[in-house]
Structure 1
Amino acid sequence: MAKPVRAAVGNVWVKCTFCQGDLFRDREVKLNSSGMEFMGYGWANESATGLVCWNCGYVHLFVNKDLELYKVKKGEG
């Protein structure tokens, strides 16, 4: 099972825009475009970091390479 993380861009901590939670699970998300898929270049599409809110499940997408993920220590979450 995925472990929760906290995230920040620079010195700004990410909070869920729906429930204001600050714990997420992360995953890579492909940003597919139909044109690239049609031409067989789907592999070249940009990807983003998806943060799924641990509390409500709302998905946030970040293409900012400055996004930092921090593991949550046991008992902290």
Structure 2
Amino acid sequence: MAKPVRAAVGKVWIKCTFCQGDLFRDREVKLNSSGMEIMGFGWANESATGLICWNCGYVHLFVNRDLELYKVKKDKG
């Protein structure tokens, strides 16, 4: 199971734009373009970091290379 993370860009901590939660799970997301897919170069598309809100599931996408992820311990409650 995914571990929760907190995220920041510089000194600004990321909060969910929907529920204001501050815990996320992260994953790489391909930003596919149909032109690259048609030509067989889908592997060359740009990637983003997807932050999925631990509370509500809203997905946030970041291509900012300054995004930092910080592992946290999640209570079992």
TM-score by length of 2: 0.94
Instruction: Tell me the distance in 1 between the aligned counterparts of 2:17 and 2:71.
Output: 21
Q: Within 5 Å, give how 1:23-42 maps onto structure 2.
A: 23-42=23-42
Instruction: Tell me the distance in 1 between the aligned counterparts of 2:29 and 2:74.
Output: 27
The letter for the 1-side match of 2:67 is L
Q: Could you list the per-position Cα deviations for residues 1-52 of structure 1 after superposition, in whole angstroms to 9, with x for gaps in the alignment?
A: 0010000000000000000000000000000000000000000000000000
Give unpaired runs (5+ residues) of structure 1: none
Q: Which residue of 1 aligns with 2:6?
A: 6
Give unpaired runs (5+ residues) of structure 2: none
Instruction: Tell me the distance in 2 between the aligned counterparts of 1:55 and 1:73.
Output: 15
Shift of 1:74: 5.1
TM-score by length of 1: 0.94
- For the aligned residue pairs, the C-alpha RMSD in angstroms reads 0.8
User: How many residue pairs end up in the alignment?
Assistant: 75
Query: Which 4+ residue blocks in structure 1 deviate beyond 4 angstroms?
Result: none
Q: Within 5 Å, give how 1:1-77 maps onto structure 2.
A: 1-73=1-73, 75=75
